[in-house]
């Protein structure tokens, strides 16, 4: 199987007749516990194109969320004109959601694609050729290296490039330049997932499998509005909850989401803690579990974990009543939720932004891991844990180390790990910047603000909209103190402020792999040529590496690969023997009927109860969950973890910004089902954009009454940092909270949020800020 | 036991100096968000230590007029310094103050052992453990700040 083309062999649901922006999860295919999820192929072709007119189908996977649904791209006359779910793929069994169906291809032939490089001339961006644009970057880069050394360079990347591109960027940054200033916008969405996994299990890597949905009898979704963020995964759950012997659902979310409704429908629980109080709730659930001795698998805990006594002491004060007081939930609901966790045979938990972007993010997410450890519920069918990712390729960013991680889930503080990479890349280990902790995104922007980072290279992301305090970020990007390079598909809000803009090829215009939340690797093949002079991100990085002349110890070129497949093979070597071992996975294998999980042949991690916590193997020695202070090698070794997982507990502390008389509401931000990230792609899809064209603020009915506003009225939302005016939707947030989606550059919710981040994961806290709401007028049109 | 009383007084005083200094650094580097928030949090820990110590101070009577360990009364940071290099120096000063607090608790723990004062011993251990966490954070944050401040900062 070496051809990327697949013939149509299944009956497909052509979405021309069903509007999937309304019917988001599609038709139900219910089935009983332990039976396979039925196949249903979803298809969408652009107006006027029918299935028999398609010239070619090119195999890929959807790049619009972290679910990684396998699909084939329809090509007609050299254009991408639609997508069809792959019936044989283990992730989606043929399905696609509205974002994937309607958002995958229209952006690609949008007239405002970048087709030529741009450089700044007298204040304006003007078109130029590649040599000129790259020449400016290289000149600046060399000058800075000479004058100030590698710490003058920073890279801010994305959760949307391919593995091959990240790996190449990681090698350039870590072994070519030697800068610790590399991070991605993955910091905003998944850093806490990685941090929580590392703290508990010693290394990143999702223990669970999507197939656990078919086997579980209870499902816990923590701060994870899956019904909107990963619609196909939610379809998979609905097909269980609507079938025979359904699992009970427990939802932890301050909003009454579709997940919350399903929790109630299945006899589960919806816990709606006050924004910023997740950890108090988690501590109460943990305490309940420990109070009911029979729920804890003592033999397993004894053999495979460390830290039970300390955890018990930390959670002791958090009675259900205390949780009720702090979180504003019913004590009885806490007891019921704990009982469901304690008495079910097989629990699957998922965690997302409601925990990751909130106060005490890592500690609360670690607490979810603790619950599974206490019941020994890992590595068996139905017993799963998925610390979810927001973006489609975030996992690869972490694996390869294009962000702050060390390539191949290695440990920055372990000299032997650094030496392994130095040997692999054939460079001096001192080049690899392991002498300082890697710089996280917010710090990178602070250095760029001060000008001590003089060259900031931003790929495939739009920090002018997505970072907290967006006005400040725009000032930093626009200023003269730092030379900004942006490579992207469009002239985004960020690209407009750059000194050099490079036109990039997008999904379907280049080849590469990426890995979803349950470790499934997909190959996405090139279906069409990129527009104009646009180049793949891999080509761009290779061009830079060539022009800079990065060499190894023998004077040979540092980056020895040219094609995506060669880059993948180089990465496979870098991952050999590490927890994220890709060996055995090849492009040929990935051209088969389905994506493939790493490590090859391992559906679930930790079935044997052995974790990568050994001091010589682990990815981190761990942190103080309150301060982020690092545990030293000696301290780690003294605990002799030897493959046992850590039970780490932390006391709850109130959020940094509590509502006050002036700012009485708690602000929370989030996503909608129709858009992805800053809408760079999704706003170019008519069905998606028409479904959610504007920002809005959601208020609880009682609060709306009190303010005297109805649906559609315009209100002013003000925090100590900024203000926006947006229409009101009376919705399902809890009283005292307001919700704003974060996708909209023209009404940036992030102007309201404060710059504060989790001490361990360094993920910014978007979810807690205080604000006030005032009525502007009754209609829209602000 | 005049000297134990002196050390109890010293613990109280040096925790206060440390708390005040954490706050001064927080406010002086308010634009550095993590420093701002964590220094306030860690100042709170020192406050809590003083609160827990209050009954002991009452029991032993705080002696501030014994002149022998006067030299140990390190001056706090009244004002933070500017910039990245300034932050580095401020964190180092906090480190010195926290070390003084830690050795003070160590000495008190020894005295409490001798007197079989279990309450004071537990307190000294608990506070000392938290001071160690304050120091660990300072170490970690110093390492983060050092390269950029030393090599590239103007
Ligand atoms: S669930 Fe995610 S990966 Fe699947 S089709 Fe929707 S956006 Fe794409």
Judged by a CB distance cut-off of 8 A, whether residue B66 touches chain A is no
The sign one gets for the Cα dihedral A12, A16, A17, A21 is positive
The residues near B148 (Cβ < 8 Å, ≥ 6 apart) are A151, A439, A447, A452, B84
- The answer to whether the CB of A97 is under 6 A from ligand 1 is yes
Distance from the alpha carbon of residue A83 to the mean position of ligand 1, in angstroms: 11
Number of residues in chain B: 154
- The answer to whether the CB of A327 is under 6 A from ligand 1 is no
Q: Is residue A273 part of a domain?
A: yes
CB-CB neighbors (< 8 A) of B146 in chain A? 436
How much is the average pLDDT of A318-327? 97
- The answer to whether the CB of A154 is under 6 A from ligand 1 is no
Kindly list the distances between the CA atom of residue A221 and the CA atoms of A217, A248, A350, A355, in Å, as whole numbers in the listed order: 13, 11, 5, 10
pLDDT in tens, A655-704: 877 788 888 888 877 655 554 555 566 666 666 556 555 678 888 888 88
pLDDT in tens, A90-100: 999 999 999 99
A252 and A168 housed in the same domain: no
pLDDT at position A8, please?
Answer: 39
Q: Is residue A605 part of a domain?
A: no
Q: Is residue A523 part of a domain?
A: no
Judged by a CB distance cut-off of 8 A, whether residue B42 touches chain A is yes
Number of residues in chain A: 782
CB-CB neighbors (< 8 A) of B134 in chain A? 627
pLDDT in tens, A213-232: 999 999 999 999 999 889 99
Q: Is residue A644 part of a domain?
A: no
Q: Is A385 left (phi over 0), alpha (psi -120 to 50) or beta?
A: beta
Q: Report the nearest-CA residue for atom 2 of ligand 1.
A: A65
Q: Report the nearest-CA residue for atom 4 of ligand 1.
A: A69
Asked if the Cβ–Cβ distance from A653 to B148 is below 8 Å, we say no
pLDDT at position A7, please?
Answer: 39
User: What are the backbone angles phi and psi of residue A777, rounded to the nearest 5°?
Assistant: -155, 175
A206 and A61 housed in the same domain: no
Distance CA A551, CA A431 (A): 12
Q: What range defines the domain where residue A77 resides?
A: 12-109
A457 and A482 housed in the same domain: yes
Kindly list the distances between the CA atom of residue A576 and the CA atoms of A124, A573, A612, in Å, as whole numbers in the listed order: 47, 5, 15
CB-CB neighbors (< 8 A) of B148 in chain A? 151, 439, 447, 452
Please report the beta strands in A2-139, taking only residues with DSSP state E, as ranges in sequence order. 12-14, 41-45, 56-61, 70-76, 79-85, 118-121, 124-127
A25 and A171 housed in the same domain: no
Question: Lowest mean pLDDT: which of A303-307, A328-332, A746-750, B116-120?
Answer: A746-750
Domain boundary residue, one of A44, A75, A109: A109
pLDDT at position B70, please?
Answer: 53
pTM value is 0.91
A397 and A298 housed in the same domain: no
Q: Report the nearest-CA residue for atom 8 of ligand 1.
A: A100
Number of domains in chain A: 4
A697 and A773 housed in the same domain: yes
131-150 of B, contacting A, C-beta below 8 A: 133-134, 136-137, 139-140, 143-144, 146-148
Distance CA A269, CA A249 (A): 7
Domain boundary residue, one of A369, A388, A407: A388
CA triple B81-B86-B92, angle to 5 deg: 105
Residue A84 and residue A12 in contact, taking contact as beta carbons nearer than 8 Å: yes
Residue A485 and residue A500 in contact, taking contact as beta carbons nearer than 8 Å: yes
User: What are the backbone angles phi and psi of residue A681, rounded to the nearest 5°?
Assistant: -95, -45
- pLDDT at A569 exceeding the cut of 80: yes
Distance from the alpha carbon of residue B70 to the mean position of ligand 1, in angstroms: 68
Q: Best mutation site among A84, A224, A230 for ligand 1, i.e. most ligand atoms within 8 A of its Cβ? A: A230
Name the more confident of A22 and A326.
A326
A217 and A82 housed in the same domain: no
- pLDDT at A39 exceeding the cut of 70: yes
pLDDT at position A48, please?
Answer: 86
Residue ranges of alpha helices (H) inside A104-150 are 130-148
Name the more confident of B9 and A424.
A424
A227 and A355 housed in the same domain: yes
How much is the average pLDDT of A223-249? 95
Q: ipTM for the complex?
A: 0.90
Asked if the Cβ–Cβ distance from A756 to B33 is below 8 Å, we say yes
Distance from the alpha carbon of residue A234 to the mean position of ligand 1, in angstroms: 10
Distance CA A756, CA A656 (A): 8
- pLDDT at A353 exceeding the cut of 70: yes
Q: Is residue A653 part of a domain?
A: no
- pLDDT at A767 exceeding the cut of 70: no
- CATH, residue A100: 2.20.25.90
What tokens appear for A739 in the block?
């919700």
pLDDT at position A150, please?
Answer: 95
pLDDT at position A4, please?
Answer: 38
Band of the pLDDT at A781, cuts 50, 70, 90? very low
Q: Domain limits of chain B?
A: 2-150
Band of the pLDDT at A732, cuts 50, 70, 90? confident
pLDDT at position A692, please?
Answer: 56
Distance from the alpha carbon of residue A98 to the mean position of ligand 1, in angstroms: 8
Residue A352 and residue A223 in contact, taking contact as beta carbons nearer than 8 Å: yes
Q: Is residue A6 part of a domain?
A: no
Question: Lowest mean pLDDT: which of A441-450, A517-526, A666-675, A730-739?
Answer: A666-675
Distance from the alpha carbon of residue A539 to the mean position of ligand 1, in angstroms: 27
pLDDT at position B71, please?
Answer: 52
CB-CB neighbors (< 8 A) of A453 in chain B? 152
- The answer to whether the CB of A64 is under 6 A from ligand 1 is yes
- pLDDT at A436 exceeding the cut of 50: yes
pLDDT at position A691, please?
Answer: 55
Residue ranges of alpha helices (H) inside A627-695 are 633-639, 686-691
What is the SS3 assignment for A366? helix
The minimum CA-CA distance between B130 and chain A, rounded to whole Å, is: 11
Asked if the Cβ–Cβ distance from B34 to A756 is below 8 Å, we say yes
What is the CATH superfamily name and number for domain B2-150? Ferritin, core subunit, four-helix bundle (1.20.1260.10)
Q: Is residue A419 part of a domain?
A: yes
Residue A756 and residue A688 in contact, taking contact as beta carbons nearer than 8 Å: no
102-121 of B, contacting A, C-beta below 8 A: none
Asked if the Cβ–Cβ distance from A149 to B153 is below 8 Å, we say no
Q: H/E/C letters for each residue in chain B? A: CHHHHHHHHHHHHHHHHHHHHHHHHHHHCCCCHHHHHHHHHHHHHHHHHHHHHHHHHHHHCCCCCCCHHHHHCCCCCCCCCCHHHHHHHHHHHHHHHHHHHHHHHHHHHHHHHHHCCHHHHHHHHHHHHHHHHHHHHHHHHHHHHHHHHHHHCC
Interface test with B, best of A432, A629, A764 (most B CBs within 10 A): A629
pLDDT in tens, A275-302: 889 999 999 999 999 999 999 999 999 9
CB-CB neighbors (< 8 A) of A481 in chain B? none
pLDDT in tens, B43-97: 999 999 999 999 988 888 765 555 555 555 567 787 888 888 999 999 999 999 9
pLDDT more than 70, % of chain A? 92
- The answer to whether the CB of A69 is under 6 A from ligand 1 is yes
A184 and A301 housed in the same domain: no
Domain boundary residue, one of A84, A109, A134: A109
Distance from the alpha carbon of residue A357 to the mean position of ligand 1, in angstroms: 21
Q: Which residues pair with A255 in a beta bridge?
A: A733
């Amino acid at each position: 199987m070496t051809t990327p083309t697949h013939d149509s062999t299944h009956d497909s649901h052509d979405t021309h007749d069903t509007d999937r922006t309304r019917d988001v999860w599609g038709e139900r295919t219910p089935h009983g516990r332990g039976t396979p999820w039925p196949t249903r192929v979803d298809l969408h072709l652009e107006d006027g194109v029918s299935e028999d007119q398609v010239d070619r189908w090119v195999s890929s996977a959807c790049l619009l969320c972290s679910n990684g649904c396998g699909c084939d791209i329809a090509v007609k006359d050299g254009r991408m004109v639609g997508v069809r779910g792959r019936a044989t793929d283990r992730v989606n069994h043929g399905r696609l959601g509205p974002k994937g169906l309607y958002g995958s291809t229209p952006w690609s032939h949008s007239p405002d694609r970048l087709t030529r490089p741009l450089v700044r001339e007298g204040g304006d961006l003007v078109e130029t050729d590649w040599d000129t644009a790259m020449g400016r970057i290289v000149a600046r880069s060399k000058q800075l290296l000479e004058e100030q050394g590698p710490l003058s360079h920073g890279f801010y990347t994305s959760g949307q490039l391919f593995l091959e591109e990240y790996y190449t960027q990681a090698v350039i940054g870590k072994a070519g330049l030697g800068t610790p200033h590399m991070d991605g916008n993955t910091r905003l969405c998944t850093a806490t997932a990685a941090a929580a996994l590392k703290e508990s299990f010693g290394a990143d890597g999702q223990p669970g499998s999507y197939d656990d949905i078919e086997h579980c009898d209870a499902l816990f979704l923590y701060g994870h509005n899956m019904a909107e963020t990963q619609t196909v995964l939610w379809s998979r759950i609905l097909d269980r909850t609507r079938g025979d012997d359904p699992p009970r659902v427990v939802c932890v979310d301050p909003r009454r989401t579709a997940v919350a409704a399903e929790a109630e429908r299945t006899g589960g629980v919806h816990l709606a803690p006050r924004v910023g109080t997740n950890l108090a709730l988690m501590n109460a659930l943990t305490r309940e579990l420990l109070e009911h001795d029979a729920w804890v698998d003592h033999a397993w805990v004894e053999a495979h974990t460390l830290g039970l006594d300390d955890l018990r002491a930390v959670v002791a004060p958090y009675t259900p009543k205390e949780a009720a007081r702090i979180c504003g939930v019913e004590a009885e609901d806490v007891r019921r939720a704990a009982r469901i966790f304690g008495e079910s045979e097989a629990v699957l938990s998922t965690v997302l932004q409601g925990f990751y972007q909130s106060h005490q993010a890592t500690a609360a997410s670690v607490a979810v891991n603790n619950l599974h450890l206490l019941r020994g519920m890992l590595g068996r069918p139905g017993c799963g844990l998925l610390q979810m990712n927001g973006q489609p390729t975030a996992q690869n960013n972490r694996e390869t180390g294009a962000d702050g991680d060390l390539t191949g889930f290695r440990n920055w503080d372990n000299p032997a790990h650094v030496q392994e990479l130095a040997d692999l890349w054939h460079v001096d280990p001192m080049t690899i910047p392991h002498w300082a902790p890697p710089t996280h995104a917010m710090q990178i922007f602070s250095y760029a603000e001060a000008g001590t980072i003089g060259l900031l290279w931003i790929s495939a992301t739009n920090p002018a909209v997505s970072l907290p305090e967006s006005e400040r970020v725009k000032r930093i990007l626009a200023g003269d103190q730092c030379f900004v390079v942006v490579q992207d598909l469009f002239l985004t809000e960020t690209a407009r402020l750059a000194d050099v803009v490079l036109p990039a090829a997008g999904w379907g215009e280049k080849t590469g792999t990426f890995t979803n939340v349950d470790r499934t690797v997909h190959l996405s093949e090139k279906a069409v040529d990129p527009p104009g002079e646009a180049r793949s991100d891999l080509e761009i990085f290779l061009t830079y590496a060539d022009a800079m002349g990065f060499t190894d110890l023998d004077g040979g070129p540092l980056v020895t690969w040219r094609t995506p497949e060669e880059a993948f093979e180089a990465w496979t070597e870098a991952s050999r023997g590490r927890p994220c071992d890709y060996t055995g996975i090849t492009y040929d294998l990935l051209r088969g009927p389905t994506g493939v999980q790493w490590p090859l042949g391992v559906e679930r991690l930790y079935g044997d109860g052995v974790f990568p916590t050994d001091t010589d193997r682990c990815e981190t020695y761990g942190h103080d969950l309150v301060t982020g202070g690092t545990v030293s090698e000696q301290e780690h070794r003294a605990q002799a973890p030897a493959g046992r997982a850590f039970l780490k507990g932390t006391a709850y502390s109130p959020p940094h910004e509590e509502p006050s008389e002036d700012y009485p509401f708690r602000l929370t931000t989030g996503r909608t089902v129709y858009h992805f990230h800053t809408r760079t792609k999704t706003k170019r899809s008519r069905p998606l954009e028409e479904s959610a064209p504007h920002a809005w603020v959601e208020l609880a009915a009682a609060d709306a009454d009190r303010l005297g506003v109805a649906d559609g009225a315009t209100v002013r939302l003000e925090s100590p940092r900024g203000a926006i005016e947006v229409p009101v939707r009376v919705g399902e947030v809890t009283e005292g909270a307001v919700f704003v989606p974060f996708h909209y550059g023209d009404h940036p919710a992030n102007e309201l949020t404060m710059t504060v981040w989790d001490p361990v994961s360094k993920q910014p806290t978007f979810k807690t800020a205080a604000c006030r709401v005032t009525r502007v007028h009754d209609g829209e049109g602000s | 036991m005049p000297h134990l009383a002196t050390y109890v007084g010293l613990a109280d005083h040096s925790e206060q100096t440390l708390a005040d200094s954490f706050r001064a650094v927080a406010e002086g580097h308010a634009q550095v968000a993590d420093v701002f928030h964590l220094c306030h949090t860690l100042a709170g820990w020192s406050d809590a230590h003083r609160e827990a110590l209050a009954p002991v101070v009452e029991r032993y009577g705080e002696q501030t007029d014994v002149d022998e360990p006067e030299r140990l009364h390190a001056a706090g940071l009244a004002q933070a310094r500017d910039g990245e290099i300034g932050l580095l120096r401020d964190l180092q000063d906090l480190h010195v103050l926290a070390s003084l607090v830690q050795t003070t608790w160590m000495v008190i723990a020894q005295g409490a052992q001798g007197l079989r004062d279990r309450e004071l011993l537990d307190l000294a251990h608990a506070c000392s453990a938290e001071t160690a966490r304050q120091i660990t954070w300072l170490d970690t944050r110093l390492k983060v700040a050092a390269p950029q401040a030393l090599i590239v900062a103007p």
